[in-house]
A and B are shown apart, each in its own frame.
Chain A
């Protein structure tokens, strides 16, 4: 329905465009317009084909397979609903979802606070554009290196005989190594914040850079304190960036399984991990049903974020 309506609007706009195009009464222009419209289709085709083949059809396949039957060897075309009833009827699923949502909330909050202040510092306290660019790159570069290596790199810090434990013991703060540092939920949150904060920094930095500085001057002239400028001017204007960053972080954490598996040493549960386990047991239809539920939950959260903040201006 909605796509149809959109297509209708788009079609109407094309018609209007053509009509304004022929205002001087030249058919040549009309043809040029038609040729350029054709060019747009040709130029957009590769993207449409790739996304159709590797995004749209695979997701439809997941939807289809979630109704299939399976045994320990293979999967069978069928129309059964027990993949859903089993998943939704088990309290393990609900507990896992709650646990995943808890991780999402904690990581979202931490990355937002850290990301906002880092972006704020870069946007408002660094005066020279070159320095701004350099510091921004310093923040971006780790994002372009391997996630797994970045996770591994916490081992010498957090391990039983790691840097933190050995310094704490040496300083006499704790008598024996703290066990909760590595392979715990704490480690999972720490690694996720480490991996994903950049997804907050970039969009927030982008919106902060676009704020008209005269607005801040005006607020100051009108007698606003620094705190009031922040809460009444800067944060409301930064909302679209915060929303985009939030969408990134929420979807990354909701679908994560590798961080949860590696950093918790298998002790913590997450939806992604549950799916990965079902996949490794070749229970594809069960994993597919889980995937459909996960997708719905993620899309609901994204829709909720978009309801609160209008990000269209940012695109």
Chain B
């Protein structure tokens, strides 16, 4: 009876889901294919031969502005954001396990960081620095702007993790004579390691692709998304797609790396545990 009912609804929804996935990945696949356009090809189909001409073009300084420099800045900024996000979220997650004065306010502050429109954060930090007379730069105001976007996600993930975390393990460790540091280092940390990798993945990818919050906070030098946005207005060759392909492949590699790390940590834990 159940299987009977499933078949119709299941197939309709499966087709719907398939179309949704096509909708998500179709455009990305198209620019991936078009980035191998021949040297005389344009921004749309048909393909005028197949070449890596536009990828080579990407690494010539004049063609696309400062691709190398902006990529390097985005990388460094992403790594800085990731490190701070992981550490601060972990500490905040530990803090929120107990109720303390102002915990509700701090929690709502973190949530509101997600709700406040990005352009407001960008404008606010830009003005704040201007009023203080500090010159905005990608590694100061830009970093702060990115943290307002990545930290709430990190805090929410850690919040969810510790909500489901049984204190029995820590009690057992304490009963066996472990110091608080030992309990944290050898009991708590290994158990939450996969979630921390997840927080790091979010931190890096959100920062690496962030645009709206960086707009007024990056200062003189562009991050990669700002550079790409600048290109959209004056570059009309498939080099734009080549850049899209390179950055997307890079994002995919980061995701793959994080997932592999999570699986390896999980396996190792399963073997020991």
Cross-chain contact of B255 among A3, A17, A144, A155 (Cβ < 8 A): A144
Q: Say yes or no: is A218 at the interface (Cβ < 8 Å to chain B).
A: no
- Check if A44 sits within 8 Å of B44, measured CB to CB: no
A43 touches B45 (CB 8 A): no
Interface check A215, CB cutoff 8 A: no
Among A81-89, A91-99, A113-121, A235-243, the stretch that binds chain B is A113-121
- A56, A161, A298: the one contacting B115 at CB < 8 Å is A298
Contact A54 B144 (CB under 8 A): yes
Q: Are A55 and B102 in contact (CB under 8 A)?
A: no
Task: List residues 127-160 of chain A with CB under 8 A from any CB of chain B.
Answer: 135, 137-139, 141-142, 144-150, 152-157, 159
Does B123 reach chain A (CB closer than 8 Å)?
yes
* Known contacts A44-B103, A156-B43; A149/B116 CB under 8 A: no
11 contacts between A and B (CB under 8 A): A11-B101, A39-B94, A44-B106, A51-B106, A54-B147, A121-B16, A146-B247, A153-B27, A256-B117, A294-B117, A315-B156
Q: Does B196 contact A (CB under 8 A)?
A: no
In contact, A43 and B209 (Cβ under 8 angstroms): no
- Give Cα A207 to B101, complex, Å: 30
Closest CB in chain A relative to B253 CB, distance in Å: 11
Query: A294 to B114, alpha carbons, bound, how many Å?
Result: 15
Q: What does DSSP make chain A's interface, helix, strand, loop or mixed?
A: helix
How far is the CB of A104 from the nearest CB of chain B, in Å?
Answer: 12
Known: A58-B128, A161-B44. A298 touches B117 (CB 8 A): yes
Q: Known pairs A36-B98, A156-B34, A272-B117. 5 more at Cβ < 8 A?
A: A46-B91, A117-B17, A145-B28, A150-B27, A152-B232
Partner of B94, one of A43, A258, A287: A43
Could you tell me if A44 and B92 are in contact, using CB atoms closer than 8 angstroms?
yes
Within 8 Å by CB of A287, from B123, B201, B211, lies: B123
- Closest CB of chain B to A154's CB: distance in Å? 5
Q: With A and B bound together, what is the CA distance between A205 and B42 in angstroms?
A: 41
Q: Which 10 A-B pairs have the closest CB atoms?
A: A255-B117, A58-B124, A153-B27, A54-B144, A43-B95, A44-B95, A144-B205, A149-B244, A121-B13, A47-B92
A-B CB pair tally, cutoff 8 Å: 269
Q: Does chain A have a CB within 8 A of B151?
A: yes
Report A-chain residues with C-beta under 8 Å of the C-beta of B147: 50, 54
Q: Is B121's CB within 8 Å of the partner chain A?
A: yes
Whether, in the assembled complex, A40 has its beta carbon less than 8 Å from a beta carbon of chain B, the answer is yes
Residues of A within 8 A of B145 (CB): 54
Is there a chain A Cβ closer than 8 Å to B271's Cβ? no
Q: Are B124 and A59 in contact (CB under 8 A)?
A: yes
Residues on A with C-beta less than 8 A from B131 are 61, 64-65
B117 A37 Cβ-Cβ under 8 A: no
> Within the complex, what minimum Cβ distance (angstroms) separates B132 from chain A?
9
Q: Report B-chain residues with C-beta under 8 Å of the C-beta of A48.
A: 102, 106, 109
How distant is the Cα of A298 from the Cα of B159 in the complex, in angstroms?
25
- With contacts A142-B25, A152-B232, A294-B120 taken as known, whether A44 is within 8 angstroms of B91 at the C-beta atoms is yes
- Which residues from B are CB-within-8-Å of A61? 124, 127-128, 131
Instruction: Please give me the residue from chain B that is nearest to A255 by CB atom.
Output: B117
- CB contacts under 8 Å to B, within A234-287, are 247-248, 251-252, 254-258, 262, 272, 275-276, 279, 284, 287
**How distant is the Cα of A255 from the Cα of B118 in the complex, in angstroms?**
7
Are the C-beta atoms of B232 and A118 separated by less than 8 Å?
A: no
CB distance from A38 to the nearest CB of B (A): 9
With A51-B110, A59-B120, A272-B119 in contact, is A148–B44 under 8 Å at CB? no
Once A138-B21, A272-B117 are accepted as A-B contacts, the answer to whether A47 and B28 lie under 8 Å apart by CB is: no
A302-B111 Cα distance, complex, nearest whole Å: 12
Given A62-B127, A148-B228: A226 and B9 within 8 A (CB)? yes
Q: Which residues of A contact B254 (CB under 8 A)?
A: 144
Interface residues of A in 1-52 (CB under 8 A from B): 3, 6-7, 10-11, 13-14, 17, 36-37, 39-44, 46-48, 50-51
Seen from chain B, the residues whose Cβ lies within 8 Å of a Cβ on chain A are: 5-6, 9-10, 13-14, 16-17, 20-21, 23-28, 30-31, 34, 43-45, 84, 87-89, 91-92, 94-96, 98-107, 109-110, 112-121, 123-125, 127-128, 130-131, 144-145, 147-148, 151, 155-156, 159, 201-202, 205-206, 208-209, 211-212, 215-216, 225, 228-229, 232, 240-241, 243-244, 247-248, 251-252, 254-255, 259
Contact between A284 and B114, CB atoms less than 8 A apart = no
A57-B128, A118-B17, A148-B232 as given contacts; A154 in contact with B151, CB under 8 Å:
no
Instruction: Report the minimum CB–CB distance from A251 to chain B (whole Å).
Output: 5
B104: nearest residue on chain A (CB-CB)? A6
Residue on A with the closest CB to B254? A144
A65, A125, A149, A162: the one contacting B6 at CB < 8 Å is A125
Chain B min CB distance to A72 (Å): 16
- Chain B residues within an 8 Å CB radius of A57: 128
A248 to B114, CA, bound (A): 8
Report which of B31, B92, B109, B243 forms a contact with A43, defined as CB distance below 8 A. B92
* A137–B123 alpha-carbon span in the complex (Å): 34
A184 within 8 A of B: no
A43 to B162, CA, bound (A): 14
For A54, A197, A255, the residue with the greatest tally of chain B CB atoms inside 10 Å of its CB is: A54
CB distance from B48 to the nearest CB of A (A): 13
